[in-house]
Structure 1
Amino acid sequence: MEQNCFFPPHQGIRLGDLANRIGAELSDAAGADRLIHGVAPVYRAKPGDVCYMLSRKNRDELQDCHASAIICDKAISSIVPDNIPVLLTPKPHTAFALAGALLHETAMRPSYITSERGVAAGAFVDPTARLEAGVEVEPTAVIGAGAEIGSGTRVAAGAVIGPNVRIGRDCTISAGASILCALVGNNVIIHPGARIGQDGFGYAPGPKGGMIKIVQVGRVIIQDHVEIGANTTIDRGTMDDTVIGEGTKIDNLVQIGHNVRIGRYCGIVSQVGIAGSTKIGDGVMIGGGTGVNGHITIGDGVQIAAMSGVASDVPPGERYGGIPARPMRDFLRDIAEMAMRASERQKKKGGKDE
C-alpha cells in the first residue's frame, strides 16, 4: 500500500516502551529497541508495524508478515515466527486498540477541515454566545444565541450549534452536524452529519382523519465520553429528556426516538432504530439493523443479536436474538428446527422426482 497521507506514520516508539504502555509482556528483550511507527494487518505488515492476532486462523498470513512485533495471547504465540517479537497479553484486542491510539493519535477523532485556528473569520458566532478560551470554530460554522462551549472543543465547518445549547470541554463537533436543545458533556465526539435535538415523531389523531403534531419540549442530555456516529439522529424528548449515558458509543445511521434513555457504556451498532420512551440499562450491546419497540425496558448487560426485532421487555443479563427477539437458546433452537424441516422437505421432493 502506498504511503497514507491521511494518517502518516508515528516518529517512532520503542517496542519496550510500547509494551509497558499497553500492559503487555515482550517475549524477547533483545527487540526492545525496535522502533514502531504504525499498525497494519498481519498479511501485509512491514518493518516498523505492529499487528495483532486473535486466533490460529491467521497462520497462513504469517508467511508474508514482516512486522516488528505481533500482539497475541500466549496460547497462540508458538505459531509466530522466531524473528518477530511477541507482545504477550490475555487481551490482544484491547492492547492493539491502546497501541493504535498511541501510534495514530490524530485518527482517534475527526480531524481539522481547515488550517485555521481559533474562531475563523468565516464562522458566525452570535454576540451573546459564550466561548471559553481555546474553543476553535471553523469557517461556515454557526453558533447560536446564548450557546455555551467549553475550552478545547472544536466545531468543524458547516456545523450548527443552536440557541442556548451547552457543550462541555474537549469535544469534537464534526462537519455538518447540528445540535439543538441539548446539553453535551465533556470529551464527546459527534461525527459528520449527526442530527441531535430535533423534535421527535409525535402525532395525535385529528378530527378529520389527519394527524395533529404533538409539541416536543424536552431536551437531549449527552453525558461525558459519548461518541455519536455519522448521520445518526437523536430526537429531543416530548416533555421529559432523551438521555445518552456516559461512555456509550453509537455507530453511524442510528435512530434514537424521543424520551429514550440509554445507560452507561452501551454499544449500539449501525442502523439500529430505538422507538420512543424505551429505557436501556448499562452495558447493553445492540447488533446492527435491530429494531427496538417503544415503551419497553432492556435491562443491564443485555446483548441483542444483529437484525433482531425487540418487541417487549428484556431481563438484565440476557442474550436475545431473532424476530421477535427471544432468548438466544430458543432462537438458535428454532433456527435448527427450521433448517431440519427444510432439509426433510427437500429430501421428500427429491424422492418424488426420482
Structure 2
Amino acid sequence: MADPRFFKKKGPFTLEELAEIGQCEIYRGDPTLLIHDVASLNEADTTCIGVLYNTKHHALLQDTKALACILGEEMVDRAPQNTALLVAKYPHRSFAMIATAFYPQEKKAGRIDPTAIIDPSSKLGEDVIIGPLAIIGANVEIDDGVVVGAHTVIEEGVSIGKNTIIGSHVSISHAIIGKCVNIKPGACIGQSGFGFFMDSGDMGGHVPVPQLGRVLIHDYVEIGANTTVDRGSGADTIIGLGTRIDNLVMVAHNVHFSKGCVMVTQTGIAGSTKLGDYVAAGGQVGIADNLKIGSGARLAAKCGIMRDVDPKEVMMGSPALPFKTFFRQVAVLKKLVEDTRKKVS
C-alpha cells in the first residue's frame, strides 16, 4: 500500500461510488460498503480494493484478503465468496481511475523560488511553480499551472502549455510544448541532432549541418527520465498527442510520432522515421532512419527494424522479421541443433 509520507489519500468511497468512477458494474456486494484504499491483491487487507487484470494470476485472487476486487466477468467464479466484485471490460483501466480517485495529483499553490533566474522578457501564467536554481530564458512563455523543477533550464523562445509538469535537471530548447505534458527528471529536449557531412579529413574533418527545426510536443505526452529528443534538422521533430516515451529513450531529428505511441526504455529511433498511430515498441528496439512504421504496429523487445513496417504488423528479432517467420526460423534452428547432436553422438 502507498506510503503516507509520499502520497496523500482521499476517501473512503462506497462500492457504488467506485463502480461509477471506474466505469464498472457491481456484480456482488453491498453498494454502501466503504472501501478505504487500493492495493495489490497479495498486499490488500480487509479495507482495500484490488484488481485482477491478468488471468494468469488467478491464484492471487483465490488467496486475497481484499474487501473488493475489480476483474473481468470470466473470472468471477474464481473469487472468494466474501469478496465484493466490480466487473469491468478493462479491469486495469478501471483500477487506474479508481486509484486516481484515492490518490489525486496534489495541486500546489504557485510559487517562484527566490534562487530561480528568470529573464524579464519571459511571460509566466497564474499558479506557476518555479523550483530552486531553475533558469528561464528570454521570451519564454509559460502558461497557467506549469511546474518547473529545480535546476531545470528553459532556453530562449520556448512555449509551455497549461498544467505541464517539468521535472528537475531538465534541459529544453527550440520547443513548443502543449498542455498537460509530463517531462521527467534529466530529460533533454531540443538540442541539435547528430547531423554532419562525413568528411574523410582532406577538407578539414566532418562538417556540421545546422539543425534549424524545432521539437513540437502535443498535449498529454509523457517523456521519461533521461530521455533525449533532438530538434529537427529542417523539418520539425514531432511527438504526437498522448504518446508515452519511457526513460532512456533516444529520439533523433525529424522523427514524427503520431498519436498514442508507446516507446519502452532504451529504444532508439534514427532520424526522419515516421510512426503511425498507436505504434508500440518494447525495450531496446532499434529503428533505422527514414522508415515508415504503420499504425498499430508492434515491435518486440530488442528488434532491429531495417525496413518499413506495415500497419498492425508484429515484428521480432534482429534483423526484425514478422513474428510467424521468426518463430518458424527458431523452430528450424532448434531442429537443426537436435539433428546435429544426434549425428555427433
Q: Mark yes or no: TM-score above 0.5.
A: yes
Give the TM-score, by structure 2 length: 0.94
1:315 aligns with one of 305, 310, 313: 310
CA contact (8 A) 1:161 1:178 kept: yes
Match of 2:220 in 1: 225
Shift of 1:66: 1.5
Alignment-derived partner of residue 61 in structure 1: 60
> Which residue is equivalent to 2:21?
21
Which structure 1 residue ranges, 4+ long, deviate > 6 Å from structure 2?
none
Shift of 1:55: 4.3
1:75 corresponding residue in structure 2: 74
Cα gap change, 1:133 to 1:4, in 2 (>3 Å): closer
Aligned length: 343
Task: Give the SS at the match of 2:111.
Answer: coil
In the other structure, the counterpart of 1:35 is 34
Q: Where does residue 167 of structure 2 map in the other structure?
A: 174
Residue 337 of structure 1 aligns with which residue? 332
Structure 1 residue matching 2:17: 3-state secondary structure: helix
Letter of the structure 1 residue corresponding to residue 7 of structure 2: F
Counterpart code for 1:263: S
**1:129, 1:146 within 8 Å by CA — same for their partners in 2?**
yes
Identity of aligned residues (%): 38
1:235 aligned to which of 230, 233, 248: 230
Q: What is the aligned counterpart of 1:156 among 145, 149, 152?
A: 149
8 Å contact 1:44–1:64 — kept in the other structure? Answer: no
- Mean CA deviation greater in 68-77 or 200-209: 200-209
Q: Partner of 1:145 in structure 2?
A: 138
Quote the Cα distance in structure 2 between the aligned partners of 1:93 and 1:347. Answer: 48
Secondary structure of 2:284's partner? Answer: coil
Secondary structure of 1:71's counterpart equals strand
Q: In the alignment, does 2:260 pair up with 1:261? A: no
* Superposed displacement of residue 3, structure 1: 4.5
- What amino acid sits opposite 2:196 in the alignment? Y
Of residues 187, 197, 201, the one that matches 1:204 is 197
- Matching residue of 2:322: 327
Query: Quick check: 2:52–2:58 contact (8 Å CA) kept in 1?
Result: no
Q: CA deviation at 1:63?
A: 5.3
Instruction: Kindly indicate whether the alpha-carbon contact (under 8 Å) linking 2:110 and 2:129 is maintained by their aligned counterparts in 1.
Output: yes
In the aligned structure 1, how far is the partner of 2:210 from the partner of 2:43?
56
**Cα–Cα, structure 1 residues 160 and 36, in superposed 2: closer, same or farther, change >3 Å?**
farther
* CA distance in 2 between partners of 1:263 and 1:313 (Å): 16
SS state at 2:70 partner: strand
Q: Which residue of 2 aligns with 1:87?
A: 86
* Structure 2 residue ranges without an equivalent (≥5): none
Q: How much does 1:226 deviate? A: 0.5
* Aligned counterparts of 1:173 and 1:274: Cα–Cα separation in 2: 23
SS at match of 2:179: coil
Say if 2:278 is the partner of 1:292.
Answer: no
Could you report, residue by residue, the CA deviation over 1:173-232 in whole angstroms, capped at 9, with x for unpaired residues?
011111111000111000111100000001212362531211111110001111101110
Asked if the contact 2:269–2:286 (Cα under 8 Å) also holds between the matched residues in 1, the reply is yes
Residues 180, 51 of structure 1: alpha-carbon distance in 2 compared, 3 angstrom cutoff:
same
> In structure 2, do the counterparts of structure 1 residues 315 and 64 end up closer, same or farther at CA, with 3 Å as the change threshold?
closer
Q: Closer, same or farther in 2 for the Cα pair 1:314/1:2, shift >3 Å?
A: closer
Matched, 1:194 2:196: no
Residue 118 (1) aligns with residue 111 (2): yes
Separation (CA, whole Å) in 1 of partners of 2:322 and 2:154:
42
Q: Residue deviations 1:312-334, cap 9 Å, x none? A: 11112211111111211111211
Let me know the Cα RMSD of the aligned residues: 1.9
Say if 2:110 and 2:126, in contact at 8 Å, map to a contact too.
no
In 1, Cα distance between equivalents of 2:26 and 2:206? 66
On the 8 A contact 1:164/1:181 being kept in 2, the answer is yes
Q: Please tell me whether the aligned partners of residues 62 and 79 of structure 2 are also in contact (alpha carbons under 8 angstroms).
A: no
Contact 2:29–2:83, Cα closer than 8 Å, also in 1: no
Single out whichever of 258-267 and 318-327 deviates more from structure 2: 318-327
Contact persistence 1:187–1:226 (CA under 8 A): yes
- Tell me, what secondary structure is at the counterpart of 2:176? strand
**Separation in 1, partners of 2:227, 2:26:** 41
Cα deviation for residue 34 of structure 1 reads 2.6
Q: Deviations over 1:76-118 (max 9, x none)?
A: 1111101110111121121112112222223xxxx89xx8842
